[in-house]
Amino acid sequence: MTRSPRIGVSMSSSHAVGDPAEGARRMIERAAAASRSGLDFLSVGDQHATASPYYQNVPMMGRLLAEWDDRPAGLLFLLPLWHPVLLAEQVGTLAALQRGTVIVQTGLGGGETQFAAMGRSLRNRVGDFEECFRVASALLAGETVDSERFGIVGARISPVPDQEIEWWMGAGVPRAMERAARLSPDFYAGPGHDLEGSKEVLGMYLRAAEKVGSRPRRLVLRKDVLVAGDDDLARRVAEPVIASGYRGFPPEALVVGSPARVAEELAAYVELGYTDIAVRQLPVDQALAVRSLELLGEVRRELRGGSD
């Protein structure tokens, strides 16, 4: 496991704007701010057949890499919704644009509407998840692959990445955690818990890893965060978001405050054993979101004892 915590950004891809170009501009500006702040990794999400603008992960990441450098970058893929050859080809091409570690975050996905729109079945999603991972990871390692489940015969891809691919496995219940630990040493915990809940989630995962004989490497926690110049401003800005019942999370699951306060709260999660924090900005005005990302550089330095 890493000793110094890494702080990265999980970029929001959903922007309810009248002009689609405006949402893309917001994401580009935020990626540039995250880069200036020296954050450790950049990632974007995955969702399909949405009613409001959701900027798709592969083309958007290709553009955001122009604001980034060779620090780790990655994407969420809801594996049951993807054909594994297409997924592997997309990752291989992105890897050619960026020499650092490529992160593939994974999830099962949900929602009848989303699955029906993609021609997939919720009933089959666990099996599809495992087989998509098996095929895509083998292709990205340069192997030639067959898959009866996906009707694949003799598939291979090019370019094959030279660099490491990290598979961050999302899971929230013991059975899924056992699957995650069996497939990869990297775990991705969800954001909807306070400190005690996040402790329980990590404990469940570590027990699952021990059960399947896995040795964890990255223990990543996503947190929804707002950083402002002082605590009072941060609370005022975040108050209407919290009052709206943001994402159904308990208010204690959100981290809001000055750089010093946010660093103190995130340090408590690091103390539990999480090696990486993936920050999602609370939905606020663009200028405030960019400023929050800039201030995350201060948070990162405090968490790492003043070092870059």
pLDDT in tens, the chain (308 residues): 446 899 999 999 999 888 999 999 999 999 999 999 999 999 999 999 999 999 999 999 999 999 999 999 999 999 999 999 999 999 999 999 998 999 999 999 999 999 999 999 999 999 999 999 999 999 999 999 999 999 999 999 999 999 989 999 999 999 999 999 999 999 999 999 999 999 999 999 999 999 999 999 999 999 999 999 999 999 999 999 999 999 999 999 999 999 999 999 999 999 999 999 999 999 999 999 999 999 999 999 999 987 77
Pairing state of beta strands 73-78 and 102-107?
parallel
Peptide bond connecting 191 to the previous residue in cis, omega within 30 degrees of 0: no
What is the span of the domain harbouring residue 22? Answer: 6-303
Rounded distance between C-alpha atoms, residue 301 and residue 298, angstroms = 5
Q: Looking at the domain assignment, is residue 269 inside a domain? A: yes
A 10 A CB-CB count for 292 gives 27
Assigned domain for 86 exists? yes
Q: Name the domain count of the chain.
A: 1
Is residue 1, in this structure, part of any structural domain at all? no
The dihedral region occupied by 151, where left means phi > 0, alpha psi between -120 and 50, and beta the remainder, is left
Residue 308 counted as domain residue: no
Give me the amino acid identity at 138.
A
Question: Is 252 within the bounds of a domain?
Answer: yes
Q: What is the CATH number of the domain that holds 145?
A: 3.20.20.30
Does residue 142 sit within a domain? yes
